[in-house]
Amino acid sequence: MERIAFKMKLKSGFKQEYIKRHKKIWPEIVELIKKAGVGDYSIFLDEETNILFGVQKQSGGISSQELGHVEIQQKWWDYMSDIMEVNPDNSPVTTFLEEVFYLK
């Protein structure tokens, strides 16, 4: 199982809304992510920069950020687009990060 990390950006002032929406994440999104082989998925927030830092394990060779070809994922991105920095298709602006150290 591969571990990957990435960052996204939350718009200023939307921390509580982001948390609220993820506490009520759509079951279809959870199912899609799990079926893609993604698990052990966490998102952290750096409040000084509003950077969201995601870490996940994947066994299907695809991250949660690469599921934009699925309609329900597109709808989730549309739903989140008002509180995050997004691309023209409303997918979150995502930067994948290189792992430079890991202590197991």
Closest listed residue to residue 5, CA positions, set 103, 102, 104: 102
Q: Catalytic: which of 2, 19, 20, 22?
A: 22
Is 22 a known active-site residue?
yes
| Model pLDDT for residues 74-83, shown as the tens digit of each residue | 999 999 999 9
The CATH number of the domain holding residue 25 is: 3.30.70.100
* 103 falls within a domain: no
Domain count, the chain: 1
Domain membership of residue 29 as a residue range: 2-97
* 23 falls within a domain: yes
Q: Tell me the pTM.
A: 0.91
Closest listed residue to residue 53, CA positions, set 65, 42, 63, 39: 42
CA–CA separation, 1 and 24 (whole Å): 27
| Model pLDDT for residues 10-30, shown as the tens digit of each residue | 999 999 999 999 999 999 999
Q: 95 pairs with which residues across the strands? A: 7
